[in-house]
Amino acid sequence: MQSRPRTTRTARRPAGFTMLELLIVIGILGFISATLIVVLGTTGTEARIESTRTTIRVLDSLIQERIEAFNDLDLSSQASQLKAQYDGAGNSSPSTLPRNLAAILVKKHRFRSAFPQRERDLQGFDGPSGDTADDSPLDVSGNDFTDVSLTSSELMYAALTKGAAFGLPNAILDEINPRHIADADGDGFPEFVDDWGNPLHFYIWPTKLIRPGDNSSSNSDITALQRQVAAILIQGLPGASGNLSATDFSSLLNQDPQDQLGLISSSNLSSSGFDLDMGGTTINATAINEDNWHTLNTYHTILIVSAGPDEMLGLGAAGGTAPACLGQPVPAISISSDLDDHPITDNLTNRQQR
């Protein structure tokens, strides 16, 4: 009797995935999702950075156009008038104001009035407590700029749209992203903001960024580290790298672009106030020094600053008081490691060559 051949059956694989396969798929999907989040997040941040840079470039162009027009002004008659006001006020040291020094003071006064970063900058030689005789035309134009909490961004907006244009029309802001003009603090004054909604900061004389040391009696030296820090925000600084003695006046870092010979610092006007006869009214001008104006014999250039993606400025408030308002790094940078994760390292400015 023949036996039947035995048939071997292979067990069918259950439908679906094994646990191991599911875990592998989940891991791959998680990796792809995480990668997309990073890529999209980076792309979004880069887009915000570029949008902010574009607004900063437009504002810088508008300001530089006005600076060029300002530099073409003939201020000789105003300098003669200031000299007469000084000489007629009975000052003793010096008893008469040198004409070249008068020209420098007039230029600084007019410049600060035209490009204010603080409410105090609109108030002439005698400051907030003084007479209005030499106040900025912007301050007496009917606009209420008496609030000391006004930001530098609000003041620069007013200066560009309502202030002196030196023969140019008032600024037309149609090239600026509409989202970058806002009333961020709700005080009724429009201001320029970055793509994160934070106000831009304007420093007309950021001398403490370059020379953050104690300059109460005489200027401190500029160290290689201080130059390195300043170069983050102001690229292409003049002069060689390395430590710089404060007495090396051949270096442009030790020169005030508006007073290259250091006439203010060599006069008594840097250490004590003086009087001006404004036609029957005598005003008491404050000393021309770091407390009231800026660090003397130090390079400066107008700086427009966004706090960048971390939304932390890392500089003294432009609308505050000296020395912080002169661009002093906060917190202080004493050694190289202080730069690690310092808020200024992601700041965006008009003087970065990107």
For each of the chain's 354 residues, which pLDDT tens digit applies? 555 555 555 555 555 667 777 777 777 777 776 665 655 556 789 999 999 999 999 999 999 999 999 999 999 999 999 999 999 999 988 999 999 999 999 999 999 989 999 888 887 786 655 556 556 555 444 455 555 567 899 999 999 988 777 888 778 898 999 999 999 888 888 999 999 999 999 999 999 999 998 887 789 999 999 999 999 999 999 877 889 999 999 999 999 999 999 999 999 999 999 999 988 889 999 999 999 999 999 999 999 999 999 999 999 999 888 889 999 999 999 999 999 999 999 999 999 986
DSSP state of 291: T
Residue entry with tokens 């005698």: 126
> DSSP for 159-220?
HHHHS--TTSPPPP-TTS-GGGEE-TTSSS--EEB-TTSPBPEEES--HHHH--S--SSSPP
Cross-strand pairs, 192: 181
- 201-203/274-277 β-pairing: unpaired
pLDDT value of position 141: 46
> DSSP for 35-62?
HHHHHHHHHHHHHHHHHHHHHHHHHHHH
pLDDT value of position 266: 94
d(CA 131, CA 137): 14
